[in-house]
């Protein structure tokens, strides 16, 4: 039997994550919010992170959003471990997912993430519908933005969606969703609330959420729920 699972993830821990969460809830879609607690100026407060965790999942994204491959390994470990401990203390719950800032990781970083008790880690590698073969290198389907032309090109090469979708992530999101409905697997939409705001794309995001939501045979899960499902 084919499985159809939709998941979304939203990075950095900006205040507007609360607005984004409400939009997801309107369409019965779950999100994993990867929070860097000491990064953004307009960051979520501790109370807001708690509020977000009531329906959605909170994942770790380092303490300060540093490129982990560019700093000494002991510092990288502090960033990874520190963000897990900080969020676990705050929420009184286990944090099982990690996300590499700027999508940067290598084998050593992966090992540290694994060693510190995370069940998986998300990357920014697009164009994928597969269940993660390596949960510490979990790929996404697409970015809710036109901001990464190289990723768009990779998605195009992998999926051969219409060239019309090249400059329009709304169309891209819908066409990739149609492919997902044909083949099953995981449809993973990723983005940033601050980026949606900056690009003035809240309505676009809502149209995409409307398109991908409330399909009878599709399950809507957090990143962590999928990794746990795979382990069981």
Q: Of the two residues 101 and 127, which places its CB atom closer to Zn ion in the complex?
A: 101
- Binding status of residue 17 toward Zn ion by CB under 5 A: no
The H or E element that residue 185 is part of is strand 185-191
Inter-residue contact 10 to 99 (CB < 8 Å): no
Rule CB under 5 A: choose which of 5, 11, 95, 138 binds Zn ion.
Answer: 11
Instruction: State the nearest-atom distance from the C-beta of 184 to Zn ion, in Å.
Output: 29
Interacting residues with Zn ion between 99 and 118 (CB under 5 A):
101
- Which residues, 6+ apart, have CB-to-CB distance to 226 below 8 Å? 5, 7, 131, 132, 186
- Binding status of residue 57 toward Zn ion by CB under 5 A: no
Q: SS3 for 3?
A: coil
Instruction: State the nearest-atom distance from the C-beta of 145 to Zn ion, in Å.
Output: 13
CA distances in angstroms from 144 to 49, 57, 97, 154, listed in the order given: 22, 19, 20, 15
Which range in 3-11, 16-24, 73-81, 174-182 contacts Zn ion by CB under 5 A? 3-11
C-alpha Rg value of the chain to the nearest Å: 17
Rounded distance, CA 130 to CA 187, Å? 8
Q: Of the two residues 10 and 187, which places its CB atom closer to Zn ion in the complex?
A: 10
Rounded distance, CA 87 to CA 109, Å? 20
Rule CB under 5 A: choose which of 12, 17, 77, 201 binds Zn ion.
Answer: 12
Which range in 6-14, 18-26, 108-116, 198-206 contacts Zn ion by CB under 5 A? 6-14
Which range in 4-12, 16-24, 66-74, 205-213 contacts Zn ion by CB under 5 A? 4-12
The residue number whose beta carbon is nearest to Zn ion equals 11
Contacting positions for Zn ion (CB under 5 A): 11-12, 101
């Amino acid at each position: 039997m084919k499985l159809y699972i939709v998941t979304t993830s939203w990075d950095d821990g900006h205040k507007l994550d609360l607005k984004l969460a409400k939009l997801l809830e309107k369409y019965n879609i779950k999100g994993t919010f990867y929070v860097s607690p000491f990064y953004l100026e307009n960051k979520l407060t501790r109370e807001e992170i708690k509020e977000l965790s009531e329906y959605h999942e909170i994942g770790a994204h380092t303490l300060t959003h540093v490129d982990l491959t560019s700093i000494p390994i002991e510092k990288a470990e502090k960033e990874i471990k520190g963000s897990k401990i900080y969020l676990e203390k705050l929420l009184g719950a286990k944090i099982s997912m990690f996300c590499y800032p700027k999508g940067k990781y290598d084998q050593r970083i992966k090992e540290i993430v694994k060693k510190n008790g995370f069940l998986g880690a998300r990357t920014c590698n697009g164009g994928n519908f597969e269940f993660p073969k390596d949960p510490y290198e979990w790929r996404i389907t697409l970015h809710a933005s036109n901001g990464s032309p190289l990723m768009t090109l990779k998605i195009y090469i992998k999926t051969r969606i219409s060239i019309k979708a090249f400059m329009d992530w709304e169309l891209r999101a819908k066409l990739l969703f149609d492919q997902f409905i044909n083949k099953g697997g995981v449809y993973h939409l990723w983005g940033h609330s601050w980026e949606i705001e900056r690009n003035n794309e809240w309505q676009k995001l809502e149209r995409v959420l409307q398109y991908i939501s409330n399909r009878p045979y599709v399950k809507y899960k957090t990143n962590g729920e999928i990794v746990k499902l795979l382990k069981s």
